[in-house]
A and B are shown apart, each in its own frame.
Chain A
Amino acid sequence: MTHGASAHHRSDGPQAGHAGAPSHDDLVDEKIIVCYYVAALTFLTISMLAGLLVALQLVHWNPFKGTELLSPGRWRMIHTNAIAYGFLANAFLGTLHWAVPRLTFHKVFSKPLSWFIFGAWQVVVLSTAFGIVLGPTFQDQPWILALAKKWHLPMNLGAQGLEWGETPFWIDPVALVGLALVAVNFMVPIGKSKGPMYVSLWYFMAAFVWTFLTYAMGNLLPEYAVAGTSAGAIGGLFIHDLVGLFVTPLGWGLMYYFVPIILKKPIWSHGLSLVGFWGLAFFYPLQGIHHFLYTPIPMFLQYGAVISTIAVELVVATVVINFFGTLVGRGKEFFDNLPIRYFYTGMVFYFITCFQCALQVTFTFQKLIHFTDWVVGHAHLVMFGVFSLWLFGIMTYLFPRLLGRPWWSRSLCEYHYWLSAGGLFVMFLDLTLAGIFQGYYWSSLQPWDASTNGSQPFWITRVFAGLAMFAGLLCFLVNLWMTARGAEATDPLPARAAGTPTA
């Protein structure tokens, strides 16, 4: 699959004029990147189908009513876990195999280890799905109960009681070993690089350490060490740190890598980018408690979380200013260059989501929106509107290089962008409004049914927004399939709209 691309690079490597410098082919294993992307897109398809199933349940159109194994209670967790660990983690790992060796001029620590991690991570994700769907069915078997009694273990085969951390407890040690190996595999080349580091490498290094620590803290401490409100506080840290210390540093690190390359222009201020990085490092870790305002957690911790959340908005402002400063003079690229359009759309959504975050963590806002669909809209804006769009942009940029040929259809790429970004924006607005309505229904002490009946128009709109997003994904998958097959292009567009001219 990548043979053509490899041959493509071999004749034009960096060694021309730089004897002894490694070439792209020496550094990058393109095959593993393709495998990671295929796995990521497979899990994304499953996740979006699961999301549609849950959305249909809410409007009373569940096609699998009464089928226990397809119940929305289980598939809602498949929806969230498949996005976090199936799509985002796989796509990030694949892209890191491109970015880290090229940034450091050193290969990853071990190619066999890379393939082992790839296989082990798919086992972790599939085992998680197995545990969530089938765990509760096996839970009451006598031999399970006997084992639990013998070893004094909770033996909860199904989902762990931790939001975003529903990976069953028996998978956690394997996942942690996998994350440690990922850190070793990428930290070795980073450690070998000389001189002041580019900001992307700071973000990547932090992500490798943070993700391991966050996963260990969230999955092990509440399960084995602490209980009650303390466990709740740690659960809050875990939920938020998974976004802020796993996907955020990887996402921004990759933006600092790809945007200057595609624009052929350095980032506006490297110093400002470092302010953003260190601000994130010191502000982010205590924010998660803002998920548990008005709880028995000490008020100074709740206030501290509110303050640090608002402070992070300033950090985010530095990052966004830096990227838009970089775009100055190249604004036309936003319209003509599809990967750049994906990246900057995601950045606008990121600013909106962080601004929203700084407001919604205040006690006044929480009174109204807690437990409502506002939060669901916020989560979709972050996970799909920001990080998924960025990864779509990266894939749109890299697949032609990995496959050694241009995209089969520019139109399908455009449809993918507009259906994804447009559908997501409609869903975000819809759920935000739904949350406000629900908050007022509840605060006016109307019966529960009044709030669910009043939510129906919003939930129906959400189904159609989700269908648009899924249609966008299908466009991408069809385009990818036809491109990989080497089919003749269908709709060559004028040169003006042809995107990045060179890679």
Chain B
Amino acid sequence: MSEPTDTTGGRGTGDSRGAVAGMSRRQAWVTAAMAVLILIPSLYGFAGKFVEFVHIYRGTSGGEFAVAPILNYLLASAGFFCMLLWAAWNGMFRDVEKPKVDFLENEARLDGGVRCPLFRR
């Protein structure tokens, strides 16, 4: 028989009070801190690039070199921004920790009691 699956990530369920649904308080803090760490430099970088792009568009030398990669980037990012909005609208982030548990349960269900050792003992 396979080992029982630890669907709490080894932390049990007792530390989830007062935190985001499905996340422990520590996880919520780490997630928020990493998000801020990432968002601040990204906003700085994006805003700076956009200002430069406007300057170049208005006739600063070198504009023709910048247009192709900037447009590529804006098109790709616009697509992902739309996908982000679509995901949020469809509740993909409502219970953000649930998929990791569902996925593991589905895997266990698919394998049933299959036992397939990598090596002979």
Q: Are A and B part of the same complex?
A: yes
Interface of B (DSSP majority class): helix
Say yes or no: is A283 at the interface (Cβ < 8 Å to chain B). yes
Contact status A230-B100, CB under 8 Å: no
Instruction: Name the interface residues of B73-121: CB closer than 8 Å to any CB of A.
Output: 73, 76-77, 79-80, 84, 91-104, 106-107, 109-121
Write out the residue numbers on chain B whose beta carbons fall within 8 Å of the beta carbon of A497.
Answer: 119
Contacting B3 at CB < 8 Å: which of A285, A314, A396, A502? A502
Say yes or no: is A107 at the interface (Cβ < 8 Å to chain B). no
Mark each residue of chain B from 1 to 43: 1 if its CB lies under 8 Å from any CB of chain A, else 0: 0111111111000000000100100011011001101100110
| CB-defined A-B contacts under 8 Å, sample of 20 | A16-B112, A198-B103, A213-B76, A221-B68, A233-B68, A233-B69, A237-B72, A260-B103, A264-B2, A265-B104, A266-B100, A267-B9, A269-B30, A282-B80, A286-B73, A311-B38, A321-B34, A489-B119, A501-B117, A503-B114
Write out the residue numbers on chain B whose beta carbons fall within 8 Å of the beta carbon of A102.
Answer: 106-107, 110
Say yes or no: is A188 at the interface (Cβ < 8 Å to chain B). no
Expressed in whole angstroms, the Cα–Cα distance for A410 and B34 within the complex equals 41
Residue of A nearest to B91 (CB): A196
Q: What is the size, in residues, of chain A's interface with B at 8 Å between Cβ atoms?
A: 95
Contact status B77-A282, CB under 8 Å: yes
Binding site for A on B (CB under 8 A): 2-10, 20, 23, 27-28, 30-31, 34-35, 37-38, 41-42, 44-45, 48-49, 52, 56, 62, 64-70, 72-73, 76-77, 79-80, 84, 91-104, 106-107, 109-121
Residue of A nearest to B106 (CB): A105
Contact status A274-B100, CB under 8 Å: no
- Given contact pairs A196-B92, A266-B100, A407 touches B27 in the complex (Cβ within 8 A): no
Expressed in whole angstroms, the Cα–Cα distance for A301 and B9 within the complex equals 42
- Given contact pairs A196-B98, A230-B64, A268 touches B118 in the complex (Cβ within 8 A): no
Contact status A298-B9, CB under 8 Å: no
Expressed in whole angstroms, the Cα–Cα distance for A221 and B72 within the complex equals 11
Given A270-B98, A307-B41, 16 other A-B residues pairs in contact with their CB atoms under 8 A: A13-B112, A103-B103, A195-B102, A196-B98, A213-B76, A260-B103, A269-B27, A269-B97, A271-B23, A282-B80, A285-B77, A296-B62, A300-B66, A301-B65, A311-B41, A489-B119
Contacting A275 at CB < 8 Å: which of B34, B103, B118? B34
**How near does chain A come to B12, taking the closest CB pair, in angstroms?**
12
Write out the residue numbers on chain A whose beta carbons fall within 8 Å of the beta carbon of B4.
Answer: 264
Specify which of A14, A102, A234 lies most central, judged by the most chain B CB atoms within 10 Å of its CB: A14
Expressed in whole angstroms, the Cα–Cα distance for A197 and B87 within the complex equals 9
Residue of A nearest to B109 (CB): A14
Instruction: Name the interface residues of A1-57: CB closer than 8 Å to any CB of B.
Output: 8-9, 12-14, 16, 18, 21, 23-24, 27
Contact status B72-A217, CB under 8 Å: yes
Say yes or no: is A161 at the interface (Cβ < 8 Å to chain B). no
Contact status A498-B76, CB under 8 Å: no
Contact status A270-B97, CB under 8 Å: yes
Write out the residue numbers on chain A whose beta carbons fall within 8 Å of the beta carbon of B72.
Answer: 217, 234, 237, 285
Write out the residue numbers on chain A whose beta carbons fall within 8 Å of the beta carbon of B117.
Answer: 400, 406, 498-502
Say yes or no: is A88 at the interface (Cβ < 8 Å to chain B). no
Instruction: Name the interface residues of A174-220: CB closer than 8 Å to any CB of B.
Output: 195-200, 206, 209-210, 213, 217
**How near does chain B come to A264, taking the closest CB pair, in angstroms?**
5
Say yes or no: is A304 at the interface (Cβ < 8 Å to chain B). yes
Contact status A272-B111, CB under 8 Å: no
- Given contact pairs A271-B23, A282-B80, A492-B119, A237 touches B103 in the complex (Cβ within 8 A): no
Contacting B116 at CB < 8 Å: which of A217, A264, A503? A503
Contacting A407 at CB < 8 Å: which of B91, B94, B118, B121? B118
Expressed in whole angstroms, the Cα–Cα distance for A89 and B4 within the complex equals 34
Residue of A nearest to B10 (CB): A329
Instruction: Name the interface residues of A387-436: CB closer than 8 Å to any CB of B.
Output: 396-397, 400-401, 406-407, 410, 413
Say yes or no: is A318 at the interface (Cβ < 8 Å to chain B). yes
Expressed in whole angstroms, the Cα–Cα distance for A350 and B72 within the complex equals 27
Say yes or no: is A445 at the interface (Cβ < 8 Å to chain B). no
Residue of A nearest to B107 (CB): A261
- Given contact pairs A226-B68, A489-B120, A499-B118, A268 touches B27 in the complex (Cβ within 8 A): yes
